Amino acid sequence: MKSSFDSFCRLIFVFTVLSLSSFAAEDTAKNSSAVIEPPPAGAIILWNGHDLAGWKAVFTNAVPLSNLWSARDGVLHLAGKPMGYFRTEKTFSNYLLHIEWRWPQTNGNSGVFVHITGADAIWPVSVECQFKSGSAGEMVGQGGVDFPAPLISGKKRAKITTPSEKPVGEWNAYDITCRGDTIETVVNGTKQKFIEKVTVNSGAVGIQLEGFPVEFRNLWLKPLK
């Protein structure tokens, strides 16, 4: 009888260990990805992984910051509403900007602003590098910013032809090179657009909230000579 009871206890123990291992593996898979790219030597870490020190919030409605964002396991979770953006308090020029993002749901829309200048506004004078699902890598001139590209709905837009972003729930890597009056976007290692003769060439960096939840990690900037 005792032997049967011991066997039963061992069986329960093994089942518990296997279950916990399975949950841990699922959690690890959910929060890890080969997309992670360690910051190079000399890089400026834009997000410290736990709060928004060094960033300013600009939104259409005055709401508690706790309603807009949270941080867990080195991931910045943005609610998406109300409309607005977080921007760096410092300004930059001539750099490689690296951002990793993923969508928790389909048909997401967001972007990263480079060369934010002038007064804070919705939307600021800047170049928006799109995160919008199916359009990551496109660039839009905001606030009258000009560059050689078609004028669509009153804004200059450099559109892509073949998306290179990953499915919903998977991490994407965005590399944006700003040098002089040129900007290049690379999504998951694929060059998407290159524009030149841009009428802004320095300013703050911003993360846009445009109605959809989005997650970020590993934000850094490497100054270029």
Selected residue with higher pLDDT from 205 and 35 = 205
- What pLDDT score was predicted for residue 6? 52
Instruction: Tell me, yes or no, whether 2 and 58 share the same domain.
Output: no
Least confident of 23-27, 154-158, 198-202: 23-27
Q: How far is CA 65 from the centre of its chain?
A: 18
- What pLDDT score was predicted for residue 35? 52
Strands 111-117 vs 44-45: parallel, antiparallel or unpaired? unpaired
Name the nearest CA neighbour of 127 among 46, 21, 201, 32. Answer: 201
Instruction: Tell me, yes or no, whether 216 and 181 share the same domain.
Output: yes
Can you say whether the dihedral through the CA atoms of 151, 160, 95, 92 is positive or negative?
positive
Instruction: Tell me, yes or no, whether 146 and 203 share the same domain.
Output: yes
What is the domain extent for residue 23?
1-32
Number of domains observed in the structure of the chain: 2
Instruction: Tell me, yes or no, whether 5 and 97 share the same domain.
Output: no
Q: Rg of the chain over CA atoms, in angstroms?
A: 21
- Residue pLDDT, tens place only, 116-134: 999 999 999 999 999 999 9
Instruction: Tell me, yes or no, whether 27 and 89 share the same domain.
Output: no
Instruction: Tell me, yes or no, whether 93 and 4 share the same domain.
Output: no
Q: How far is CA 37 from the centre of its chain?
A: 13
- What pLDDT score was predicted for residue 60? 87
Instruction: Tell me, yes or no, whether 82 and 180 share the same domain.
Output: yes
Instruction: Tell me, yes or no, whether 25 and 44 share the same domain.
Output: no
**pTM for the whole structure:** 0.84
Instruction: Tell me, yes or no, whether 24 and 51 share the same domain.
Output: no
- What pLDDT score was predicted for residue 170? 97
- What pLDDT score was predicted for residue 161? 95
CA distance 90 to 101: 22
Mean pLDDT of the chain: 88
Average pLDDT over residues 16-45: 59
- Residue pLDDT, tens place only, 170-193: 999 999 999 999 999 999 999 999
Residue 39 reports pLDDT greater than 60: yes
Q: Which two tokens stand for residue 42?
A: 């000399």
- Residue 225: which pLDDT band, with cuts at 50, 70 and 90? confident
Residue 14 reports pLDDT greater than 90: no
- What pLDDT score was predicted for residue 33? 57
Q: Residue 27 is inside which H or E element, if any?
A: helix 2-31
Instruction: Tell me, yes or no, whether 19 and 48 share the same domain.
Output: no
Instruction: Tell me, yes or no, whether 50 and 6 share the same domain.
Output: no
Instruction: Tell me, yes or no, whether 4 and 108 share the same domain.
Output: no
Q: Which two tokens stand for residue 91?
A: 């300004």
CATH at 105? 2.60.120.560
CA distance 104 to 10: 39
